[in-house]
Amino acid sequence: MITLRRYEENPIISPTENNWENLSTFNPAALYLKGKVYIFYRALSNDLVSSIGLAVSSDGFTVEERFEEPIYRPRFDFERRLMGRMTYVGVEDPRVTVIDNEIYMTYTAVSDALPYVRVALTRIRIKDFLKERWDKWERPFLISEPAIWDKDAAFVRVWDGLYLFYHRIDPDIWVSFYRTKYPEREGWKLGIPIYRSGRTAWESVKVGLGAPPIPTEEGWLVIYHGVGEGMVYRGGAMLLDLEHPWVVHRVLDHPIIEPEAPYEKDGLSKNVVFPTGAVLLGDDLFVYYGAADTCVGVATVDVNDLLAELVGKR
């Protein structure tokens, strides 16, 4: 039964004294660019406002650089505190993909003026990102429909003419279909459910996309999260069809990571392992996750072993 191997020096990102990340740093996206892993993490301040911070690693484990200011802040009414309520607001839980020469970032947009949350999508050119031109992030587009609680999302190109927006409408994983890489030109699309909760006990309450799907020879590899009895969050793995990545082929019956370490069992929340980023470094799959809604951990697995177990060759 294959599971992820935790990095012994976890957590790799924890809160600091900076006022924008002094409560929690968690639920990271990850991107491999020009020999480095860029970790986009949700940073939560004591006044419950979320921004997005950035850390950089050459080996996938050791954080060698961490920016003192957020690379992305809440800017618009749909992600700000408008009513003065001391509730969570801001930009949460990013996922990132690359399409052509741009980084596409989805995130959960939260305002205290709305009774639901939606997914926003923004972009930045890779060359602007690498030059730390954070003012070049495009104006975000609310890609999910109004009045529907929606989150855990990523925007992925399958091929030119087919782009998929993976997201969660409680308690299941959904996908919406787009013809171009500019979803703002096509408008809101509810889509279809592709994976429902309740298949096993450890994901009986709800499921959601973790890291954006990764294409492999066996299919699109998805690291996702499931929530079971007691609201325990665990990570799992599934394979989507290579040509039709809205069709689920195989799903492991067991979680590949679950709360075991102290930093995963106790924090702002209890018993939470929430995988949201993954990159391949050679044959090693690095999975980045939020632990107890407080810090960032990383765990690894040989991707060939994981795929073999998914397709029944182990």
Q: Is the pLDDT of residue 157 over 60?
A: yes
Looking at the domain assignment, is residue 3 inside a domain? no
Looking at the domain assignment, is residue 6 inside a domain? no
Average pLDDT over residues 5-26: 98
CA dihedral sign, ordered 245, 237, 58, 68: positive
Give the chain's mean pLDDT: 97
Q: pLDDT (tens digit, 9 = 90+) per residue, 191-225?
A: 999 999 999 999 999 999 999 999 999 999 999 99
What pLDDT, on the 0 to 100 scale, is given for residue 314? 55
Provide the CATH number for the domain around residue 200: 2.115.10.20
Q: Is the pLDDT of residue 45 over 60?
A: yes
Looking at the domain assignment, is residue 60 inside a domain? yes
For the chain, state the CA radius of gyration.
18
Looking at the domain assignment, is residue 291 inside a domain? yes
Looking at the domain assignment, is residue 91 inside a domain? yes
Question: Can you give the pTM of this predicted structure?
Answer: 0.97
CA 147/CA 130 separation, integer angstroms:
36
Q: pLDDT (tens digit, 9 = 90+) per residue, 242-295?
A: 999 999 999 999 999 999 999 999 999 999 999 999 999 999 999 999 999 999
Q: Is the pLDDT of residue 313 over 90?
A: no
Looking at the domain assignment, is residue 176 inside a domain? yes
- Confidence category of residue 60, pLDDT binned at 50, 70, 90: very high
Q: Calculate what percentage of the chain has a pLDDT beyond 90.
A: 98
Looking at the domain assignment, is residue 55 inside a domain? yes
Q: Is the pLDDT of residue 34 over 80?
A: yes
CA 120/CA 275 separation, integer angstroms:
19
Q: Is the pLDDT of residue 22 over 70?
A: yes
Q: Which domain holds residue 111?
A: 13-310
Looking at the domain assignment, is residue 121 inside a domain? yes
Structural domain tally of the chain? 1
Looking at the DSSP assignment, which residues form a beta bridge with residue 178?
163
Q: Is the pLDDT of residue 82 over 90?
A: yes
What pLDDT, on the 0 to 100 scale, is given for residue 265? 98
Which of 37, 64, 67 minimizes the C-alpha distance to 51? 67
- Confidence category of residue 312, pLDDT binned at 50, 70, 90: confident
